Structure 1
Amino acid sequence: MKSIPNTSFALFLALSTLTAMSQAATTDDAAANDAQTPSAEAVKQNTKDLLKSLKAYGADQKDEAVAATKAALDAADKRIDALQTRLDDNWDSMSQAAREKAQASMKALRKQRTQVAEWYGSMKTSSDSAWDEMKDGFSKAYQALAESWDNAVQAFDSE
């Protein structure tokens, strides 16, 4: 049986995460992009909230969980795009070492995003009996994506 308060709370968290993170993609120039790229702390907190809400979903709430994770992945894609834009906008002022470090971090971030997408696909099609395993795998991959985000931002900011 679905828990309305639990589902509502999880959807609230997912929408909050989406709203906070998608702001990074709504910039007009590099300065606005710098100001609106979510901080590592904000991403960590949003990740923690998403993973906590995901744990609460049972197999009978798979559709709601998939919708919440899809929103989080869309927000992650916007964050990645915003960071890439920030990198592109500042490319000319970066040293060669900073460029290489930032490029390597972005490559690792995109690779981790691909792994999250694979777990998301498995989660969408999982059977009720495999639901907990799929949630756990997705959660670990999403946590690793958040860590890759943190590393990419640090690489860019250390320039």
Structure 2
Amino acid sequence: MSIRSTLRRAVAAAAFLSAALPAGAQDDGDTFTTTQEVRSEIQQAMEAIADYSAQERDQALSTAREALNRIDAVIERREQALRENWSEMSEEARENASAQLRALREARNRMGERYGALRAGASDAWDELKTGFSDAWDAFSGAWTAADGTTAAN
């Protein structure tokens, strides 16, 4: 394998796994945020949800839905980056990136299940439901950290 080919594969893998992948356009369409900024925003949303009382349930659910939408966008960008760089990646890099995406998707699915429980649950079980959602976020955050190869910002 040539040095150029090896370098190209390394760049492709780094582009996929980079913690600074564009996190998507803001409302104005011109500004991009980093994955770390998105992660920080989602972390703040999760902390806000933990502070909501049962009387603030609608706001907590709205905040949670927005956070899940942001997470979905992050995963979609990572999947797109993987598709775009697939031919340039080594088999090992492909397997690693695919496994990390699978872990993110599984953790996101658990968050979705907890969101459903939060939405459908009785208000007298609110604190328990919030804890379950928070635990699901912690698991997702750990998977995100592993995918980025960075330490958590929690």
**1:38 & 1:126 partners in 2: Cα distance?**
34
TM-score, L = length of structure 1: 0.70
Q: Which residue of 2 aligns with 1:146?
A: 141
The within-5 A match list for 1:79-98 is 79-98=74-93
**2:101 & 2:50 partners in 1: Cα distance?**
29
Q: Which residue of 1 aligns with 2:47?
A: 52
**2:71 & 2:149 partners in 1: Cα distance?**
17
Q: Which 5+ residue runs of structure 2 have no aligned equivalent?
A: 1-21, 26-31
**1:131 & 1:118 partners in 2: Cα distance?**
15
Give, in angstroms, the shift of residue 126 of structure 1.
1.1
Assess if the C-alpha contact under 8 Å between 2:46 and 2:64 holds in 1: no
Q: Which residue of 2 aligns with 1:71?
A: 66
**1:48 & 1:105 partners in 2: Cα distance?**
20
Q: Which has the larger radius of gyration?
A: 2
Assess if the C-alpha contact under 8 Å between 1:37 and 1:79 holds in 2: no
Deviations 1:73-97 (A, max 9, x none): 0111011000110111111111111
Alignment size in residue pairs:
123
The within-5 A match list for 1:23-38 is 24-26=23-25, 38=34
Higher strand residue share: 2
Assess if the C-alpha contact under 8 Å between 1:116 and 1:141 holds in 2: yes
Q: Which 5+ residue runs of structure 1 have no aligned equivalent?
A: 1-22, 27-35
The within-5 A match list for 1:8-27 is 24-26=23-25
Deviations 1:15-66 (A, max 9, x none): xxxxxxxx6245xxxxxxxxx5733x43442243112211221001111100
**1:75 & 1:47 partners in 2: Cα distance?**
8
TM-score, L = length of structure 2: 0.72
Give, in angstroms, the shift of residue 106 of structure 1.
0.6
**1:43 & 1:24 partners in 2: Cα distance?**
7
Structure 1 runs (4+) deviating above 6 angstroms are none
Higher helix residue share: 1
Identity, % of aligned pairs? Answer: 33
